[in-house]
Amino acid sequence: INRTEEEYKKIFHSINGLLLPGGDVDIQTSQFSRASRIFYDLALKANDAGDFFPIWGTCQGFQQLTVLTANRNLLTLTDTKSVALPLTFTAAANSSRLFQSFPKDLMQSLSEENITANFHSWSLSIQNYTRNFKLKKFYRVLSTNNDGKREFISTMEAKHYPFYAVQWHPEKTPFEWIDKPGMVHTTSAVTASFYTARFFVSEAMKSQHHFSNLAEEEQALIYNFSPVFRGIHAVFVQNYYFD
């Protein structure tokens, strides 16, 4: 939906956080990228003023955040289309805001088991991150992965803002049941999914943003739309369609 900047500003002051999901659109020219830029800039200004507002990016959302911060596309092709991988944690992971509350046994599972789902062709390489001053100044790398040829960032968080990004898909594990490579449903994978969700919800609860009235809030709820069953062989079992 192509909204005006003023409409996006009103939405921004009504919601408690922003989730930039996975997908397949242009992260420099699409309406998704335009809306992301508006919310990103609003979030920077709000947090600088003491108005807490978190952002989470998953897969394409991760990639979108790198473009918003660097003001250029620094992504590199990797062989990571349908594969589950363990995370290679950096020294910063244990003291990070994101992972510091994760149980030790879960951190061990994440580092040793193939439980993070990767469904992407583009990644931010360690090399490109290190060479770009804006990215290196803004984000702290929490985990990396390797496709056999290239090391890329799989988890990061902003140093001074409540912004978080994962190149993997925590949400697929408990909610997507299509039989294809890279899809994992083990107990540890599901646990990782719920701990990431729990963390971001706890961040959103710190925000004081709210709708101006109950009617506006009810109108914005997902419950106004019905998911459409596409079949067990579709790319996604259920789809939402918004006018």
User: Residue 149: is its pLDDT beyond 80?
Assistant: yes
Residue 42 backbone zone (phi > 0: left; psi -120 to 50: alpha; other: beta): alpha
pLDDT value, residue 1: 64
pLDDT band at residue 121, thresholds of 50, 70 and 90? very high
Q: What is the DSSP letter of 59?
A: T
- Can you list the alpha helix ranges (DSSP code H) found in the chain? 5-12, 31-48, 60-70, 104-112, 126-131, 133-138, 172-175, 187-204, 214-220
pLDDT value, residue 242: 85
Catalytic machinery residues: 59, 169
The model's pLDDT over 78-117, given as tens digits with 9 standing for 90+, comes to: 999 999 999 999 999 999 999 999 999 999 999 999 999 9
Q: Which domains does the chain have, with CATH numbers?
A: 5-239 (3.40.50.880)
The model's pLDDT over 193-237, given as tens digits with 9 standing for 90+, comes to: 999 999 999 999 999 999 999 999 999 999 999 999 998 888 888
